[in-house]
Amino acid sequence: MVAAQFMPWVPIWQIYNPTLSPNGKWLAQALTDGFTTNLWALSTASGEWRQIPISANA
């Protein structure tokens, strides 16, 4: 529910299965906007969100 505190525009049903990085510095979360899913990372130190680019050919 950390993500809900920092991203109030995200429906609560989208916030599931966040993943903590091995070093504990980032929390990764997939979020869907319509038909597009994006990967976001939340800094556990600053609370800053960063979008992680995903290649369509990956």
Q: What is the pLDDT of residues 15-57, one digit of tens each?
A: 667 888 999 999 988 877 777 778 889 999 998 989 988 766 6
Look at the block and give the residue holding tokens 């990372």.
Answer: 41
User: What DSSP designation does 13 have?
Assistant: G
DSSP H or E stretch at residue 5: helix 2-6
* Domain assignment of residue 37, yes or no: yes
The number of folded domains in the chain is 1
In-domain check, residue 58? no
Query: Is residue 57, in this structure, part of any structural domain at all?
Result: no
Q: Cβ of 51: how many Cβ atoms within 10 Å?
A: 10
- pLDDT, tens digit (0-9, with 9 covering 90-100), for 6-25: 555 556 655 667 888 999 99
Give the whole-number percent of the chain exceeding pLDDT 90. 24
Cα 56 vs. chain centroid, distance in angstroms? 18
Tokens encoding 49: 């969100």
Domain assignment of residue 40, yes or no:
yes
Q: Which domain covers residue 41, as residue numbers? A: 2-52
31 falls within a domain? yes
